[in-house]
Structure formats: C-alpha cells, structure tokens
Amino acid sequence: MMKRIITTVLLGLFAIPVLANDFTVKTVRGTAEVRRGVNEEWKKLKAGDILKPEDTMRTGKSAAATIESVNKTLSVPELTMIDISDVRNLTQEEFLLKLAMENILAVPEREENETTLPSTTVLRGSNKEKEVLEDARPLEVGTMQLQGARVLFDNAFFGTSILKTKETFRTYPELKLNYDARILTAQAFEKMHLTNEAVAEYALLAKETLTPAQQKVVQGSIGRLKRK
C-alpha cells in the first residue's frame, strides 16, 4: 500500500510536459518502422517522415536510419528501438525524481493472499494467447530497447539512457546479466557527476559472475571513484 501511495505522489510530480523535439527521418537503409502514440501497429518509415515525441521507432536486421532535429542528428543502428520522448536532456532534479520512481517500481510487492499468475498466462483464450506471445518476443524487444539506451548514451542523453536501461531490466529481468548495459549505466552516472550512484552501480555489478577482465574493469572503476 505504501508503495502505491508513493508511486501516486511521484507520478503527480512527473505531470510535466515532455520537452522533446520532433525529428525528421533523413535516411533509411533496410527496414525501419514507427509506432504512433498508443497505436500498436508498426508502419514503415521513409525519408521525410516526421517523428513526434509520443512515437517509437525501431530498425530491423541489417537496417539503419538517420533522424534529425534542431542541432541534433542521431544515427540509429540495426535492431534498435527508441522512444522519441527519450531523446532529450533532463535536469538533475528531474532525473533524480524519475530515478526514485523507477527504483520504487523495481521493488517486488506481494500483498497477503494475492494470487500471482504466471507471466505467460493470457486470459483471453488459447488462440489469443498464442497470437500475443508470438507477436511480443519479449527478450528481443528488451534487447532492442537496451540498444536504444546505448544510442542515447552515445549522444549524451545520459539521464534517459539510465532510466530506459533500468526500466528494461524491470520489465525483462532475464536481461539484468547484460554486462555491457550494466557498465554503461554506471558510466552514465559518472557522466552526470553522480559519483555515489556510479559507485553503487559498479558495486552491484561486481557481485555478478564476471570474467577476470570484466571484474578488473569494475574494481578499477570503483577504486578510481573512491579516490576522488
């Protein structure tokens, strides 16, 4: 109950207009698609199309696209999914509020006598269940979202990169072992000059089963930050 109350309060704080820009599709190689707002249908993108903040774009295998806004050009590689609303800078205050919200949502909550259905159960008949599961391909979607978070990082949208990565881990827990995405999150905290948060991310990553080379990078980063 307390989690729900806090979530409601924080959602109220987030009721701020999204300050993302429209983007124009400059080039497309292969298959690139857009999902408009809450519409679930994906439609092919072509050069000259406009992407609104409420849209989501994705690229297929061996595909790529370039999108452009005011003073900003993004190259979107293959198998990438990006919410256009994430292509923006956040103030540190806005980021920390959103991060607090994401951390709350990531905490498992189970009430007494609550019945939890298996994640693959769809209560709309066997035919519908098969249709939804085949269309979703959850891990593929999650992997594409992590690739989108990397594009955000590479273009200095560090706050939204962190938030998208954490949201993806919450939605697809199987992807939490993705070393590249985890270390990218810690590095994004560093870029935002949030040293304590960066150390915490590296420390959590150090507890995972890593290769000697990966462990060396993580421990070296922790030591470097603690010496600051």
For 130-169, write each residue's pLDDT tens digit. 433 344 467 999 999 999 999 999 999 999 999 999 999 9
Same domain, 153 and 47: no
Same domain, 83 and 157: no
- Cβ–Cβ < 8 Å for 217, 223: no
Range of the domain at 32: 20-88
pLDDT number for residue 107: 87
The percent of residues in the chain predicted with pLDDT above 70, rounded, is 79
- Cβ–Cβ < 8 Å for 175, 143: yes
pLDDT number for residue 47: 98
4-13, 50-59, 89-98, 100-109: least confident range: 4-13
* Burial of 146: CB neighbours in 10 Å, binned 0-12, 13-18, 19+: buried
Q: For residue 224, give the CATH number of its domain.
A: 1.25.40
Nearest CA among 99, 73, 102, 115 for reference residue 158: 99
Q: How many domains does the chain have?
A: 2
Tell me whether residue 3 is in a domain: no
Same domain, 225 and 135: yes
CA 72/CA 125 separation, integer angstroms: 46
CA 190/CA 185 separation, integer angstroms: 9
Same domain, 172 and 218: yes
* The amino acid at 90: L
pLDDT at position 207 over 50: yes
- Cβ–Cβ < 8 Å for 104, 10: yes
**How does the average pLDDT of the chain come out, rounded?**
86
Same domain, 137 and 223: yes
Tell me whether residue 138 is in a domain: yes
CA 214/CA 226 separation, integer angstroms: 19
